[in-house]
Amino acid sequence: MRRIQIQPLWLLAMLLLLLVGGAQGLLLREARSSQTQVAELNLQCSALNYANEQQTLRVAGLKEAQTVLSGVRYRPFENAVGLYSFLDELIKVHGLERGNVIPVPASPGRFSVQVEVTGDYYGLVKTLGALRQEERALRVEALNVDALSGDRVKGTLTLGTLMKEVPAP
């Protein structure tokens, strides 16, 4: 039998070839893994960019609303006399008759009053419209309307306001 002799140079070349092939396989596997990670990161980046755009739109909307609302300044009434005289004038202007005016308990710093009016329905609606357009801090907390005869109604309004000097109960 013949013995095959492998020269050390050939053996070294074969080992080097196997080593290079193994390293190439490992590098290919790492490259594929890196490509997958890059794709996932691109997807996350797109999602974050979309969320950022949406947040930017929300902030722009809030800034616009703040600009609009910054021009709105509701002034409080100085005292109860100022509120009563304002209500008296408003009720007369719209052709209503004022009945009882009763202070209603409210939270600290606020003042509420219950006002009874009688007159035609259209006058009551105009009065409510004027209250809505008022530049002072005033809101209708409750409204009760009862029909009388013909076009006449009796309205009971509970109005809340801010006041610089809240009278003692």
What is the SS3 assignment for 16-27? HHHHHHHHHHHH
Residue 93 has what pLDDT?
A: 92
> What is the average per-residue pLDDT within 35-46?
92
The pLDDT score that the predictor gives to residue 4 is 65
Q: In angstroms, how far is the first alpha carbon of the chain from the final one? A: 125
Round the CA-based radius of gyration of the chain to a whole number and report it: 41
CA distance 72 to 137: 11
* CA 95 from centroid of its chain's CA atoms: 39
Domain ranges (residues) in the chain: 1-72, 80-162
Point out the least confidently predicted range of 48-57, 66-75, 111-120.
66-75
State the Cα angle at 129 between 123 and 132, rounded to 5°. 145
Statement: the pTM of the whole predicted model exceeds 0.95: no
The total of other beta-carbon atoms located within 10 Å of residue 125's CB is 14
Calculate the average pLDDT of the chain.
85
Looking at residue 168, its pLDDT comes to: 61
Superfamily for 80-162?
Ribosomal protein S6/Translation elongation factor EF1B (3.30.70.60)
Q: What are phi and psi of 72, to 5 degrees?
A: -90, 115
pLDDT band at 46, cuts 50/70/90? very high
Judge whether residue 115 has pLDDT over 90: yes
Q: What's the confidence (pLDDT) of residue 55?
A: 93
Between vectors from CA 120 to CA 115 and to CA 124, what angle results, nearest 5°? 45
Say what the pLDDT of residue 149 is: 87
Most confident of 13-17, 68-72, 78-82, 143-147: 143-147
Query: What pLDDT score does 134 carry?
Result: 83
